[in-house]
Amino acid sequence: MKKGFKQYIALTLALGLLIPSVSFGAPKIEYGKFIVGGKTQKIALANVSVDSAPLTVSSGEVPPLVIDSRTLVPVKLVTEKLGAQISWNAKTEEVTIKKSDKTIVLKINSSTAKVNGKSKTLPDKVSPIIVNSRTMVPLKFIADEFSLTVNYNAANNSTNLISKSGEHVNDALFPADTVVNTDDILGSLDLSGVTVVQNNSNNNSVDSNNNSNQLPIVDVDNIISTPQGSNNQVNTSTSLAKQVSYNLVQQNMDNEIFSITGTSGLSSSSFFLSDPERLVIDIQGAAINSSLDANKFYSNSAFIKEMNSYYHASENKLRITLKLKDDTKREEVQIKQNPASVDVTYKSQKPKNSNMTYSADRINSKFELRLLSSYNAPSVNFDMFSNVVELTIPSSVSNLQPEIRNVDDRNISSIEVINQGQDTKIKFKLKERVNYALTENGINSKIGIKFTKQNRTKPLIVVDAGHGAKDPGAVSGGSTEKELNLIISQKLSARLKQEGYEIITTRDTDVFIELVDRAAAANNSDADLFISIHHNAAGSSAANGIETLYYPSDDNKALAQIFHSEMLKSSGANDRKIIPRANLVVLNRTKMPAALLELGYMTNSSELANLKDDAYQNAMVEGIVKAVNRYFKGY
Ligand SMILES: [Zn+2]
């Protein structure tokens, strides 16, 4: 079961080539052989489209199937399509699908599901089943629950999913280009014997400088050109190209740096292409770090719409293609080749009202407008149906041009400036559970509004066990960090539930979850807090103690201090301070207050003995629980 879970996590839906229908007579139904309940069966393949765009799965994966006239899809489709979060309980054989306020629990071979705790019979009593160790769920039920329309056409055995809003369900997940990500291909290779040792004590992302990290890279072009269904053979002729990583540092909405980093001696060239506008960067002798998934990366970038990467084995060259957003101009994008990195800097040249500023932290955000003159009592209205705060002031004092800023932080979706008659209206579209307060009322020629995110009455906490599966994290004294992280995370989750918190875990078993997915899981559920559990390693066996890492901001720093002091108290470990870290994915891509806890050094033999000790682990967990209570409840 554990293996099944690992495999379905590795499943990626790539938009495959459309199989041309050459039959003009009766619809041609294709069949495949699959293992269900230990028996090999011939099962009809389902043609599933999303808003009329056909989709297929990677070769070797289980496609949508028709069983007893019902379409079943791999559960991973649900996560990919809907941005839902999935967890698997191997013991109970239950899959939990969570999206915003809806939680669905499906049980293998059971026609009863639980939707937000209430039992519900599945349509036509079609149960989720395991096919080739992949979890398959009934498409209709999922679509019903998540408000998608299912059009089944019996004549050609096809199903079209239509998002009710009329927009594509989640277009970014089905890019127009066929994309195969090296990581997914690597997932199907035997990686036993490949050890990834984390050599940088604090680095949460897999270290790009570490040679032991180098995993074989498969020629992606070969995979793409493999005809559908011909075979599953992956060209494993490997090249140990230098690994590069990438990261996006968002300074603010107008200024970003997308950085590709590797070891010194990087040699790159770049050029722009049109229709659509894109920047192509070729890096010689490099391959992308396999722990990064290019295709999910930059939906929230100010200038990158989508990123694709290909490793061209024959040329030993990595090509990274950044599709630019529609309103991004080439002049706004600068490329700089450094010895060990390529930096793509975006500086917005879009006209902006410079007297209007907005800045956000994790809990608090702040709007400020400088007026031409003093003005008493602007009108502020809140529309609870649209969740919009509207500020009205005479245009003669506001001095603003029409503008719309897509903010999309934790508090605000957008800020829109409209001039209407004699007045200027500024509309703030709020996210859920956000309060606002006027901090400057115009008398000092300034208007200020502070927005504050409220925690849920029953706070939702994401507990993230670092590393997993092919990424063991630190390895020392016969122990792996991924195991210790999971033990602590499970103990912590159980205790926090007892204390009355709602818990989401990023992994409950030994599986590989990408860093961006960990952050996305927390963001999609709009969690109140993110806790990442890690254990440390150092070159010197003397190093020992606790470190608490946080993304540099006031809200995060205050949180880190609480965690750090409570963990030190409960464990008695050495104080290695709280450390600001801007580049860790789980810290910089999460939107809520977040901390990464490095519980101790596995490379110090006496500390490792503690870290493996049940009583010490419990004490550490109690410290973390105390910190969470202090943070949410003030004690
Ligand atoms: Zn770690």
For the chain, residues with pLDDT lower than 70 are 1-29, 51-60, 77-83, 152-157, 162-240, 250-253, 289-300
User: What's the pLDDT at 474?
Assistant: 94
Please state, in angstroms and as integers, the Cα–Cα distance from residue 163 to each residue in 46, 141, 171, 315, following that order.
19, 14, 11, 42
Distance, CA of 527 to CA of 103 (rounded, Å) = 14
Task: Write out the two tokens for 426.
Answer: 């500024």
- Distance, in Å, from the CA atom of 331 to the CA atom of 324, rounded to the nearest integer, reads 12
And the tokens for 488? 């602590």
Residues 43 and 164 in one domain: yes
List alpha helices for 481-613, DSSP H.
481-498, 515-524, 554-571, 585-588, 605-611
- How close is the Cα of 90 to the center of ligand 1, in Å? 25
Q: Which of 88, 79, 235 is nearest to 169 (CA)?
A: 79
Instruction: Provide CB contacts within 8 A for 326, sequence distance 6+.
Output: 277, 305
Q: 357 alpha carbon to ligand 1 midpoint, in Å?
A: 37
For ligand 1, the distance from its centroid to the CA atom of residue 202, given in whole angstroms, is 7
The residue out of 409, 434, 453 marking a domain boundary is: 453
Separation of CA 480 and ligand 1 centre (Å): 10
Element (H, E) at 291: none
Å from CA of 347 to ligand 1 middle: 33
- Ligand 1 geometric centre to CA of 439 (Å): 41
What is the distance in A from the centroid of ligand 1 to the CA of 473? 5
Strands 546-550 and 575-580: parallel
pLDDT at residue 165, as a whole number = 43
Q: Do 414 and 388 meet the contact criterion of CB atoms below 8 Å apart?
A: no
Question: Is 395 in the same domain as 543?
Answer: no
What pLDDT does residue 250 have? 67
Domain boundary among 173, 196, 224: 173
CA of 470 to the centre of ligand 1 (A): 13
Query: DSSP readout, 25-85?
Result: SSPPPPEEEEEETTEEEEEEEPEEEETTEEE---TTS---EEETTEEEEEHHHHHHHH--E
Q: Are residues 152 and 90 in the same domain?
A: yes
Residue 99 CA to ligand 1 center (angstroms) comes to: 27
CB atoms within 10 A of CB 407: 19
Give just the sign of the alpha carbon dihedral 518, 519, 525, 531. positive
CATH of the domain at 609: 3.40.630.40
- Do 132 and 218 share a structural domain? no
CA of 198 to the centre of ligand 1 (A): 7
pLDDT in tens, 134-165: 788 888 787 777 777 777 665 566 777 765 44
Nearest to 12 by CA among 219, 185, 220: 185
Are both 474 and 623 inside the same structural domain? yes
3-class DSSP string for 435-498: EEEEEEECCCCEEEEEEEECCCCCCEEEEEECCECCECCCEECCEEHHHHHHHHHHHHHHHHHH
Tell me whether the omega of the peptide bond preceding residue 593 falls within 30 degrees of 0, making it cis.
no
Nearest to 313 by CA among 212, 188, 222, 190: 222
Q: Are residues 48 and 120 in the same domain?
A: yes
What spacing in Å lies between the alpha carbon of 305 and ligand 1's midpoint?
A: 30
Do residues 98 and 243 both lie within one domain? no
List the end-to-end C-alpha distance of the chain, in Å, as a whole number: 41
Phi, psi of 490 (to 5 degrees): -70, -40
Q: Is the distance from CB of 447 to CB of 391 less than 8 angstroms? A: yes
The Å distance, Cα 536 to ligand 1 centre, comes to 6
Q: How many Å lie between the centroid of ligand 1 and the Cα of residue 571? A: 19
Q: What is the DSSP letter of 227?
A: P
**CA 538 / ligand 1 centre spacing (Å):** 12
Q: Distance from the CA of 195 to the center of ligand 1, in angstroms? A: 14
How far does the centroid of ligand 1 lie from the alpha carbon of residue 200, in Å? 9
Specify whether 411 is located in the same domain as 337.
no
Q: How far is Cα 393 from Cα 424, in angstroms, rounded to an integer?
A: 5
Helices (H), 505-544: 515-524
CATH number at residue 378: 2.60.40.3470
| Contact call for residues 75 and 65 (beta carbons, < 8 A) | no
Query: What is the side-by-side order of every strand in the sheet holding 85-89?
Result: 85-89, 94-99, 102-107, 112-115, 118-121
- Same domain? For 421 and 436 the reply is yes
The Cα 278–Cα 325 span in angstroms is 9
161 HSE (CA, 13 A, CB side): 29
CB-based contact 148:86 (threshold 8 Å) = no
Closest listed residue to residue 545, CA positions, set 489, 610, 482, 481: 610
Does the CA dihedral 244-249-253-254 come out positive or negative? negative
The predicted structure's pLDDT at residue 209: 30
Residues 584 and 512 both lie in one domain: yes
Q: How far apart are CA 164 and CA 215, in angstroms?
A: 43
In the reported structure, the alpha carbon of residue 540 is separated from the centroid of ligand 1 by a whole-number distance in angstroms of 17
Q: Distance, CA 77 to ligand 1 centroid (Å)?
A: 29
Does residue 407 contact residue 416 with C-beta atoms inside 8 Å?
A: no
Asked if 164 and 234 sit in the same domain, the reply is no
Pairing of strands 460-465, 529-536: parallel
Interstrand relation of 85-89 and 148-153 (parallel, antiparallel or unpaired): unpaired
Decide: helix, strand or coil at residue 223.
helix
- C-alpha of 173 from chain center: 12
Task: Give the residue from 196, 224, 219 showing the smallest Cα distance to 209.
Answer: 196
Report d(CA 359, CA 469) in Å as an integer. 39
Closest CA to 583 of 365, 283, 291, 261: 261
Contact of 76 with 8, CB cutoff 8 Å: yes
Strand 446-453 versus strand 502-505 pairing type: unpaired
At 281, which CATH number?
2.60.40.3500
Distance 176 CA to ligand 1 centre (A): 35
CATH, residue 80: 3.30.457.10
Adjacent-strand bridge partners of 257: 249, 345
Structural domain of 408: 356-453
Distance 486 CA to ligand 1 centre (A): 11
Q: How far, in Å, from the CA of 186 to the mean position of ligand 1?
A: 21
Give me ligand 1 centre to Cα 438, in Å.
Answer: 42
The answer on 200 and 124 residing in a single domain is no
- Number of folded domains that form the chain: 4
Ligand 1 mean position to 608 CA, how many Å? 14
- The last residue of one of the domains, among 453, 481, 505, is 453
